[in-house]
Amino acid sequence: MALLNILCYPDPRLHTVAQPVAEVDARIRQLIRDMAETMYAAPGIGLAATQVNVHQRVMVIDVSDTRDQLQAFINPELTETSAQTKPGEEGCLSVPGIYDTVERSERIRLRALNEEGKAVEIDANGLLAVCIQHEVDHLNGKVFVDYLSALKRMRIKTKMKKRAHAR
């Protein structure tokens, strides 16, 4: 297993739309293991392949307090989103130290493949629903700050660029 480099906003590669995975093979399973290790080390509760500069539709999530309930989703697709939305504070491993309020659907249904390549469908609410929507956005080339005002985005972009130059 290996820790992967997480792209930081405003890296333009974060806006790349990920391509579907044609076959769930050993390479994809290794990617999932590496992404999980990277997510846990960061530490975070979700990571999309786009964030580690792999532009395939793969994401890992673990919203458990015990950090031992990893879920991997390949070619995830939101098939239902509730009309009821709820604002919540979000952060992102690609935008470290920045948190802001984003409006998300309260309940969702997700269809995807698991690590074995088998079709799965789950209904989610709460933190899991938020995390799934956040990671699917990444696979679609969208970062949570894209939901914020242009002024807030500009301030975040400036702050992130200053941090990058300070390193």
Alpha-carbon distances of 106 from 21, 123, 138, rounded to whole Å: 28, 11, 19
Mean per-residue pLDDT of the chain: 97
Over residues 22-63, the pLDDT tens digits come to 999 999 999 999 999 999 999 999 999 999 999 999 999 999
Quick check: is 67 in a domain? Answer: yes
What span, in angstroms and rounded, lies between the C-alpha atoms of 27 and 135? Answer: 20
Quick check: is 89 in a domain? Answer: yes
Quick check: is 7 in a domain? Answer: no
Domain count along the chain: 1
The answer to whether the annotation marks 165 as part of a ligand binding site is no
Quick check: is 130 in a domain? Answer: yes
Quick check: is 18 in a domain? Answer: yes
Over residues 9-19, the pLDDT tens digits come to 999 999 999 99
The answer to whether the annotation marks 134 as part of a ligand binding site is yes
Q: How much is the pTM?
A: 0.96
- Mind telling me the catalytic residues? 135
Over residues 90-126, the pLDDT tens digits come to 999 999 999 999 999 999 999 999 999 999 999 999 9
Quick check: is 5 in a domain? Answer: no
The answer to whether the annotation marks 131 as part of a ligand binding site is no
Quick check: is 6 in a domain? Answer: no
* pLDDT tier, 163 (very low <50, low <70, confident <90, very high otherwise): confident
Domain that residue 45 falls in: 12-166
Q: Which residue has the higher pLDDT, 162 or 49?
A: 49
Q: What CATH number is attached to the domain comprising 92? A: 3.90.45.10
